[in-house]
Every structure is written in C-alpha cells, then in structure tokens.
C-alpha cells in the first residue's frame, strides 16, 4: 500500500465527523482509519477500530443535534505526529474550538487521535 497524503487523511477524518449517515461516515473512515486505530478525548475513553469510532460519532450527533464539526487549520506535522484545529458549530450556541493530536502509521493512516476542546489558557506574565 503506498503512503497516503496526510492532508487528505485529515480531510476524510473530519468529514466522517460532519456526516450523520453511518455508511457515509464509514466510507470516509475507510481512507484514514484501521482496525487498530484509537480515539480518545477528555469525555471519551479510548476506543479502538472503525465500529467503535462510528459509535462515538453517533453519540456526538445524538447529544448535539444539528452540530457540525469542520476543519479549521492546516495539518502541522513532525515525523509521524501532527495536530490540527477544528471548530464545532451548534444551533443557538457559541462556536467551540478544538485541537486534535494525531499519530500516523507507515502508510499515513491515523493510528491515534487525541482530541481537546477549546483553546489553552494563556499564562499571564
């Protein structure tokens, strides 16, 4: 398998979160996720594999009807790791910002995603 374009991998990954149809989500994840890939965030325990991530995405859409997640930066990468920013728009709520940290395998598929919500608080000096 040739190495995938990492920027396209991130686009497919965030597109899966934007979709509400499970088959469309699965189709997006087919471009970037493996049976051993993991996802976690401060509200979600570590999940492994496609079906587990699809369940997390379904829970996201169930908890936040009408919410839409979209890519909000380019991918910044260093060796096999990277990060990117996203934003979450919800009807009648302020926009939420977040950052995902990712690890890639040798084919540039996502092996680990760790998500954080909002921006870090700046230190006062």
DSSP per-residue string spanning 71-115: E-SPPEEETTEEEEEEEEEETTEEEEEEEEEEEE-TTS-EEEEEE
Say if residue 120's pLDDT is above 70. Answer: no
| Two tokens, residue 115 | 């998500």
In tens, the pLDDT along 9-39 reads 999 999 999 999 999 999 999 999 999 999 9
Contact 68, 88 (CB under 8 A): yes
Residues 28, 31: Cα–Cα separation, whole Å:
6
Contact 13, 33 (CB under 8 A): yes
* pTM summary value: 0.92
Third-level CATH fold of 6-114 = Nuclear Transport Factor 2; Chain: A, (3.10.450)
Tell me what pLDDT residue 112 has: 98
In tens, the pLDDT along 37-90 reads 999 999 999 999 999 999 999 999 999 999 999 999 999 999 999 999 999 999
Tell me what pLDDT residue 11 has: 96
Domain ranges, ordered by start, for the chain: 6-114
């Amino acid at each position: 398998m040739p190495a995938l374009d990492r920027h396209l991998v991130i686009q497919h990954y965030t597109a899966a979160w934007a979709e509400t149809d499970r088959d469309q989500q699965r189709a997006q994840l087919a471009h970037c996720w493996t049976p051993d890939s993991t996802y976690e965030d401060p509200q979600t325990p570590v999940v492994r594999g496609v079906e587990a991530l699809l369940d997390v995405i379904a829970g996201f859409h169930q908890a936040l009807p009408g919410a839409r997640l979209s890519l909000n930066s380019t991918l910044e990468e260093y060796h096999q790791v990277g990060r990117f920013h996203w934003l979450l728009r919800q009807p009648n709520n302020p926009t939420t910002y977040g950052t995902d940290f990712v690890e890639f395998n040798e084919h540039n598929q996502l092996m680990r995603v760790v998500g954080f919500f909002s921006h870090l608080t700046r230190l006062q000096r």
